[in-house]
Structure 1
Amino acid sequence: MSAHRVVVLLLEPVIGFDAAIAPTLFGAASSPEGAPLYEVLTCGLTADPVLANTGFAMIPAAGAEALATADTVVVPGTRYQPARVDGRLEPQVADALAAIPATARVVSICTGAFVLAAAGLLDGRPATTHWQHADTLRALYPRVLLDENVLFVDDGDVLTSAGLAAGIDLCLHIIRRDHGTQVANAVARYCVVPPWREGGQAQFIESHLPIDDFASTAATRTWAAQNLHEPLTIGRLAEHAGMSTRTFIRRFREETGQPPGEWIRNRRIDRARELLEGHDLSVDEVARRSGLGSGGNLRHHLRRGLGMSPSSYRKVFAGHDR
């Protein structure tokens, strides 16, 4: 089989950091035998150099015709003005996006979401963008279900990420979704970044409200991630953090953008996926070690989140029969 083709559309003036994320991460993903899992191609509206926003230009490998060959299209952050000023796309950009195959997955990084929104691809769908630009996007495109508190949104065939480094989080998520945790972790190690980051944009947004102390839930989150197999009630977490339950829940949301229960559940599912990929354990034992309790509970979460059973997940991502 040919490698999955990722086409990165550079719209001037492109955010240089964002433009390098997809080629770097997808380009680093390989099978256990060392075969590349993605073919990455950059393109512009033409093959001419594309100016970045910070004093240099990037030379795309192709013009907009490459979009018609894509399995996944990535639109990095851009200061492209029409979509950010009056909400409309220039005909040349609209025509380029219209050539994307209906079967292709479409991804935006940072303000690339403005381009997808202007094309109508985010109408009625959950999405995110850089928190500084959320109000502008919401005003221009009220049909977008915008959430500026998260690092990325996966809505199946359309995925969006927050600003800058959140594009790394999203690309790692896509690689993990396509090829499993071990491949994504290998890419993260190569890039010297964490396989996943906790929380959302809320932890980075400037707050003008007074903070009454410097207590953090970070140490408790680390402890919880190391003890997922144990019962982790809100009361126990709050006690570990030395806070009242009410203060702990509020502080946890401020720091991660998620309620504690949701965060714990997601970490347990991540742990279960790692165990399914890397160990020949029974489904019940995977559920026990990850803190999900029973094989039935594990099956429920994998089917709801990934659309497959534990045994199917293991066959796809680890090659085991059990």
Structure 2
Amino acid sequence: MPTVSVLAYPGMSVFELGIVTEVFGLPRPELDVDWYRLTVCAERGAVPVIGGAVLRSDFGLDDLAAADTVIVPGVADVRGHCSPALLDALRKAHARGARLVSICSGAFALAEAGLLDGRRAATHWRYADRLAARFPAVTVDADVLYVDEGDVLTSAGSAAGLDLCVHIVRRDFGAAVANAVARRLVVPPHREGGQAQFIESPVAEPEDDAVTASMSWALANLTEPITVATLARRAHLSTRSYLRRFKDSSGTSPIRWLIAQRVQASLPLLETSELAVAEIAAAVGFDSPVTFRHHFARSLRTSPSAYRKAFRG
């Protein structure tokens, strides 16, 4: 079993902890894979949480540092300092090859441990300026949902942390397992990390049913050559109006969304079929294998061939 440890810290919201336990802690025998073994760790045995409750754990910082994946869901105070013992545990975990993950303000702990120096990192948009000011060696991206730097991953606020956790499942077990977990959680199976944190109109207005319908049509016709003009005609809108309303309701552009859907559609084919990469590129609507490889690498930081090889063991 891959092991995951999560830090419980004083003053935390139990929702922050719940994100991690819901994804990595629940048994999932229906998936027929060696699921994660989760450990909740605390610097001290008793941890007061929001609402007056107290969480108790028999696992400490040594256990935190010993896991394959170490998750810091937040810090008690973004203006203060983490304890030397916690910073030491994070450095030890990283030195022995563990994967380090932060959610929301947890990026402050990774940054203070020096693990984000020279890296791009995400945090909640409320904390982005403070993180950048305190740790100038970190390239803070205030706009994205999460950043995957391979061995160190960071995310924005709590809901983005859920996206990142599902992304980690996808990295570890592939698209089919991640999609099954997402269905059980009743969340989208994949939100691209580069998607905007803040959307002006998070829920589409009723009149934008036309935009939603155009997106549904695109998903059913990914092999077709689809342009913004094509989608705008489907929505019975001018191109300019369509671009504005698409961005207002989704937080991204039609082309960026379409590329993400095509990359997403390629994953099950890479995992389960014997089709050549060029055939898969055509099957999901990319005009050439070169274009497919380019966008795949930008999205997943690996090549289609390497993804297939890694997934198949």
The whole-number CA distance in structure 2 between the counterparts of 1:236 and 1:283 is 27
Residue 37 of structure 2 is matched in structure 1 by 39
SS for the counterpart of 1:9 is strand
**Change over 3 Å in CA distance of 1:204–1:137 after alignment to 2:** farther
Q: Is the 8 A contact 1:271 1:290 kept in 2?
A: yes
Residue 221 of structure 2 is matched in structure 1 by 227
Amino acid at match of 1:22: V
The whole-number CA distance in structure 1 between the counterparts of 2:138 and 2:244 is 27
Following superposition, the deviation at residue 67 of structure 1 comes to 2.7
Q: Is the 8 A contact 1:110 1:161 kept in 2?
A: yes
Residues 69-107 of structure 1 deviation map (CA, whole Å, 9 limit, x = unaligned): 1211100134x12xx124x33323323323324211111
Residue 51 of structure 2 is matched in structure 1 by 54
Residue 200 of structure 1 is matched in structure 2 by 196
**Change over 3 Å in CA distance of 1:182–1:247 after alignment to 2:** same
**Change over 3 Å in CA distance of 1:92–1:306 after alignment to 2:** closer
Q: TM-score, normalised by structure 1?
A: 0.82
**Change over 3 Å in CA distance of 1:224–1:293 after alignment to 2:** same
Residue 267 of structure 1 is matched in structure 2 by 261
Alignment of 1:79-228 (within 5 A): 80-81=76-77, 84-86=78-80, 88-102=81-95, 103-197=97-191, 199-203=195-199, 215=208, 217-228=211-222
Structure 2: 5+ residue stretches without partners: none
Q: Is the 8 A contact 2:201 2:248 kept in 1?
A: no
Following superposition, the deviation at residue 245 of structure 1 comes to 2.8
Structure 1: 5+ residue stretches without partners: 207-211
**Change over 3 Å in CA distance of 1:154–1:205 after alignment to 2:** farther
Q: Is the 8 A contact 1:15 1:77 kept in 2?
A: no
The whole-number CA distance in structure 2 between the counterparts of 1:52 and 1:116 is 21
Residue 12 of structure 1 is matched in structure 2 by 10
Percentage identity across paired residues of the two chains: 43
**Change over 3 Å in CA distance of 1:227–1:124 after alignment to 2:** same
Q: How many residues align?
A: 307
Amino acid at match of 2:52: G
Q: Is the 8 A contact 2:155 2:161 kept in 1?
A: yes
The whole-number CA distance in structure 1 between the counterparts of 2:207 and 2:197 is 19
**Change over 3 Å in CA distance of 1:174–1:238 after alignment to 2:** same
The whole-number CA distance in structure 1 between the counterparts of 2:39 and 2:308 is 31
Q: TM-score, normalised by structure 2?
A: 0.84
Q: Is the 8 A contact 2:145 2:160 kept in 1?
A: yes
The whole-number CA distance in structure 1 between the counterparts of 2:234 and 2:160 is 30
Following superposition, the deviation at residue 289 of structure 1 comes to 2.1
The whole-number CA distance in structure 1 between the counterparts of 2:27 and 2:256 is 29
Following superposition, the deviation at residue 19 of structure 1 comes to 0.9
User: What is the alpha-carbon root mean square deviation over aligned residues?
Assistant: 3.0
Amino acid at match of 1:54: G
Amino acid at match of 2:38: V
Greater alpha carbon shift after TM alignment, 291-300 vs 27-36 = 27-36
Q: Is the 8 A contact 2:47 2:55 kept in 1?
A: yes
Residue 252 of structure 1 is matched in structure 2 by 246
Residues 8-64 of structure 1 deviation map (CA, whole Å, 9 limit, x = unaligned): 112222221111222221234768873433221111113x12122233222234000
SS for the counterpart of 1:131 is coil
Q: Is the 8 A contact 2:144 2:197 kept in 1?
A: yes
Q: Is the 8 A contact 1:28 1:36 kept in 2?
A: no
SS for the counterpart of 1:189 is helix
